């Protein structure tokens, strides 16, 4: 039973380029969450999606960041015109939406902006 799959595991971009991070939830899970972890800092919630809907994007920066979870295919976190401050580990998690509501996390995608 595959867990949450994230790719790429490592991504290097130059300032101004776009970064696309993909997340395939666990089988049967329809809830996806994205978190960001800056170097030496804690996990910060970014966005919570259910299939085709954004439920909570209170942690998403207002500009350059977007997320989607289409009916078919993985969830995508897109960062346009990356800056050095976007360098971080981006973790995706999924859940079934039923009790006990635990989130299962992927191994993360590490973005480095040069």
Partner 1 sequence: DAKTTQPPSMDCAEGRAANLPCNHSTISGNEYVYWYRQIHSQGPQYIIHGLKNNETNEMASLIITEDRKSSTLILPHATLRDTAVYYCIVRVAPWNSGGSNYKLTFGKGTLLTVNP
Q: Which of 14, 42, 62, 85 binds partner 1 (CB under 8 A)?
A: 42
Asked if 4 interacts with partner 1 (CB under 8 A), we say: yes
Q: Which of 56, 61, 80, 83 binds partner 1 (CB under 8 A)?
A: 56
Asked if 45 interacts with partner 1 (CB under 8 A), we say: yes
CB of 7 to partner 1, least distance (A): 13
Query: Tokens 């085709």 belong to which residue?
Result: 52
SS3 50: strand
Asked if 8 interacts with partner 1 (CB under 8 A), we say: no
In the chain, the largest separation of any two C-alpha atoms, in whole Å, equals: 42
CA distances from 63 to 77, 78, 82, 98 (A): 13, 11, 11, 32
């Amino acid at each position: 039973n595959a867990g949450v799959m994230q790719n790429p595991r490592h991504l290097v971009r130059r300032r101004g380029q776009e970064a696309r991070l993909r997340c395939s939830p666990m089988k049967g899970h329809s809830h996806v969450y994205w978190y960001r972890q800056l170097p030496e800092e804690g996990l910060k919630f970014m966005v919570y999606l259910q299939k085709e809907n954004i439920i909570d994007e209170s942690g998403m920066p207002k500009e350059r960041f977007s997320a989607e979870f289409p009916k078919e295919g993985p969830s995508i976190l897109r960062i346009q015109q990356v800056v050095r401050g976007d360098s971080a580990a981006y973790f995706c998690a999924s859940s079934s939406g039923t009790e006990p509501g635990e989130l299962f996390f992927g191994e993360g995608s590490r973005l480095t902006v040069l």
